[in-house]
Amino acid sequence: MDAAFDLPLLEPDGLERVDAARNRERILSAATRLFDERGAGCVSMDEVAEAAGVGKGTLFRRFGSRAALAAAVLSERERGFQEAFIRGEPPLGPGAPARARLIAFGEALLDTLEAHTELLLAAESGPERYSHPAHVVHRLHVTLLLREADPRCDAELLADTLLAALGADLFIHLRGLQGMSLQRLKEGWGELVGRTVPAIEPRSVDHAPTEPSAGAARTAAELAAAEPAEI
């Protein structure tokens, strides 16, 4: 009763009216199709609404903004990626040393950027970007890996800083406008992480700053808890 206070946009499943759910599906699939066909950015919200067979009000009720819709479409496709770095095989998934996982993570993220450049242009690209569920998951992942590799560093800050090097805007600039190869970007990432993060996690360092526990299993566990992440 009084406990149902979740934001509708973040937790769409569960207590959703059937017509609402149906419309959400319609919108998402219509948007996906249109974006694919004509490229995002050449598709207006009116068109999406029409193609989905819903009113404009409904469209905005569910997704809030054009950028958020693009992000939602993007997120659907990123599902597999999240699975891979949370529960997949090493070196991306748990099991490998933190630094190797970090490098693999960046390379995989660069691959998904390469694959979805088109959509990225339409998606969120302001400070809001950092509040997006997908980014939040990435940040948490990187933060935990950093803390594991080097308990003394300012992991939260460093995580966002490193992730900035994998940002969509920067990618589009370097890859598209500057014409750098994907290979080169990956090497650059490897180099950056290599210099920034110690190779071997210190065995029994005196103390981790605030958080008491730290270990290889931690990352997966903590992420698994916060994870279903409707992105």
Binding site for a second copy (CB under 8 A): 121, 125-127, 129-131, 153-154, 156-158, 160-161, 164-165, 167, 169-170, 172-174, 176-178, 180, 184-185, 187-188, 191-192, 195-196
Whether omega before 91 lies within 30 degrees of 0, making that bond cis, reads yes
Interaction partner, residue 33 (DNA, a second copy, none; CB < 5-8 Å by kind): none
Helix-strand-coil split of the chain, %, nearest 5 = 65, 0, 35
- C-alpha distances (whole Å) from 106 to each of 21, 39, 165, 192 are 34, 26, 9, 11
Q: Which of 9, 36, 39, 44 binds DNA (CB under 7 A)?
A: 44
Q: Does 57 bind DNA (CB under 7 A)?
A: yes
Kindly report the backbone phi and psi dihedral angles of residue 221, in degrees, each rounded to the nearest multiple of 5, phi listed first: -60, -55
Q: Does 161 bind DNA (CB under 7 A)?
A: no
Q: Does 46 bind DNA (CB under 7 A)?
A: yes
Q: How far is the CB of 119 from DNA (least distance, A)?
A: 14
In degrees, rounded to 5, the angle at the alpha carbon of residue 136 between the alpha carbons of residues 133 and 142 is 145
Token representation of residue 41: 């950015």
Q: Does 132 bind DNA (CB under 7 A)?
A: no
Q: Does 62 bind DNA (CB under 7 A)?
A: yes
Measured distance CA(138)–CA(130) in Å, rounded? 10
Interaction partner, residue 154 (a second copy, DNA, none; CB < 5-8 Å by kind): a second copy
Q: How far is the CB of 114 from a second copy (least distance, A)?
A: 15
Provide the phi-psi class of 200: left if phi over 0, else alpha when psi is between -120 and 50, else beta: beta
Q: Which of 32, 60, 76, 88 binds DNA (CB under 7 A)?
A: 60
Q: Which of 66, 132, 147, 175 binds DNA (CB under 7 A)?
A: 66
Measured distance CA(173)–CA(169) in Å, rounded? 6
Q: Does 17 bind DNA (CB under 7 A)?
A: yes
Position 153, amino acid: C
Q: Does 58 bind DNA (CB under 7 A)?
A: yes
**Where on the chain is the footprint of DNA (CB under 7 A)?**
8, 16-20, 22-23, 44-46, 53-58, 60-62, 64-67
